[in-house]
């Protein structure tokens, strides 16, 4: 009876253990019960990608790799491209709708030495959605051995260059050291001047701040400035209206002057001489007239004496006033 009880307990323990193991396998293995949508990608190399590897979009697992095929440069009849490695994937329907036609696929690694998986860049949001079974362009994966080889070659070249130019590099370093010392001596020798310059600069900055503050206070809310701008705008409008008329008058004057100049040009040398003679005579007449008017104003000559005699002016004024009062005296004398 005790043996029977022990067997039952052991059997229950085994069943529970198997159930827990199956649960852990499902949880850690990321098993999916929903059927995925087929999607393919062509790569120059597989980089050790295996069947069952995960497929991620922006870090979220959205499917898995179902097959990795070596085509060896065979031409694809669907798109006419030559393919080295074709990877077939299944993507969950909820995530498949986020993949655009210009999406790209990458083979990357979890960590530095982790397992390989496929990362899909979903592409442009506004682009058309990719169709089931479409073939994506895959980016060549980063191969650590190639990177290590290139890095080793680069380090070797740098080491060789340093060995060959050791003397030149030493001279450059010595010159740099001398330059630093010289600059240090200049700074130490002119410490007072540098401090004074910095103080003057600080004072200038303070004055500029005060000036800006005064300007801001003077402007206030900007109403005066806006009024000035409005007046300037009106004045500009008036000038735009008046300028065409002034320009027309100036153009007319220039045209008249041009016609006169053309007429003067057509007279020839004799005509020019005559015009100059006439101008000289006119100038002489104007000088004589100016002298005559000056003599009259000074009371010289008969006309000047008459105009400058105040008694004669008064008598004439009284005579005219009397004639206005008694006009009959012109024809009748008492």
- Residue-averaged pLDDT of the chain: 77
Q: How far is CA 244 from CA 50, 234, 248, in A?
A: 85, 16, 6
As a whole number of angstroms, the distance between CA 54 and CA 119 comes to 9
- Identify how many contiguous H helices and E strands the chain contains and give both numbers: 9, 7
* pLDDT at 331 (0 to 100): 55
Q: Would you tell me how many other CB atoms lie within 10 Å of the CB of residue 51?
A: 11
- Strands 54-57 and 116-121 turn out to be parallel
Distance between CA 308 and CA 296 in Å, rounded?
8
pLDDT, one tens digit per residue, over 299-320 is: 665 556 555 666 666 766 776 6
Q: How many CA atoms lie within 13 A of 238 on its CB side?
A: 6
Tell me the per-residue pLDDT of 115-144, one tens digit each, with 9 for 90 and over.
889 999 988 888 899 999 999 888 877 666
Instruction: Tell me the three state secondary structure of residue 226.
Output: helix
Q: Residue 10: what pLDDT?
A: 76
Residues of the chain with pLDDT > 90, as a percent, come to 18
Average pLDDT (275-303) is 66
Q: Which residue, 132, 127, 66, is CA-closest to 96?
A: 132
The C-alpha atoms of residue 99 and residue 94 are separated, in whole angstroms, by: 10
Predicted confidence (pLDDT) per residue in 182-202, tens digit: 888 888 888 888 888 888 888
Which positions ≥6 away from 55 have C-beta within 8 Å?
61, 62, 63, 64, 65, 89, 90, 91, 117, 118, 120
Three-class DSSP category at 168: helix
Q: What is the per-residue pLDDT for 311?
A: 67
Please tell me whether the overall predicted TM-score, pTM, comes out greater than 0.85 for this model. no
Residue 138 pairs in a beta bridge with: 105
Quote the pLDDT of residue 87: 94
**Which has the minimum average pLDDT: 51-60, 67-76, 245-254, 273-282?**
245-254
CB-side neighbour CA atoms (13 Å) of 125: 0
- Over residues 26-69, the pLDDT tens digits come to 665 555 556 789 999 999 988 888 999 999 998 899 999 999 99
304 within 8 A of 298, measured Cβ to Cβ: yes
């Amino acid at each position: 009876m005790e043996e029977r009880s022990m067997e039952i307990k052991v059997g229950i323990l085994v069943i529970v253990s198997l159930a827990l193991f199956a649960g852990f396998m499902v949880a850690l293995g990321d098993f999916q019960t929903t059927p995925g949508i087929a999607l393919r990608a062509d790569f120059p190399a597989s980089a050790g990608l295996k069947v069952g590897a995960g497929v991620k979009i922006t870090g979220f697992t959205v499917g898995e790799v179902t097959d990795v095929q070596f085509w060896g440069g065979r031409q694809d009849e669907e798109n006419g491209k030559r393919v080295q490695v074709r990877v077939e994937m299944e993507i969950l329907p909820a995530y498949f709708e986020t993949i655009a036609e210009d999406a790209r696929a990458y083979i990357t690694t979890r960590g530095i030495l982790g397992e390989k998986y496929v990362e899909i860049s979903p592409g442009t949001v506004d682009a058309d959605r990719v169709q089931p079974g479409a073939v994506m362009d895959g980016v060549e994966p980063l191969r650590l051995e190639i990177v290590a080889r290139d890095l080793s070659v680069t380090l070797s070249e740098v080491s060789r260059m340093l060995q060959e130019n050791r003397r030149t590099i030493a001279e450059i370093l010595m010159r740099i050291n001398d330059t630093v010392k010289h600059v240090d001596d200049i700074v130490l020798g002119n410490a007072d001047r540098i401090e004074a310059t910095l103080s003057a600069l600080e004072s200038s900055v303070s004055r500029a701040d005060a000036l800006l503050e005064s300007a801001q206070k003077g402007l206030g809310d900007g109403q005066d400035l806006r009024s000035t701008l409005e007046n300037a705008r009106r004045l500009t409008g008036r000038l735009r209206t008046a300028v065409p008329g002034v320009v027309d008058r100036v153009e007319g004057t220039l045209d008249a002057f041009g016609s006169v100049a053309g007429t003067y040009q057509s007279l020839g040398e004799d005509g020019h001489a005559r015009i100059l003679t006439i101008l000289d005579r006119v100038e002489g007449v104007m000088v004589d007239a100016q002298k005559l008017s000056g003599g009259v104003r000074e009371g010289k000559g008969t006309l000047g004496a008459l105009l400058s005699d105040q008694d004669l002016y008064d008598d004439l004024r009284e005579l005219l006033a009397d004639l206005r009062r008694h006009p009959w005296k012109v024809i009748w004398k008492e």
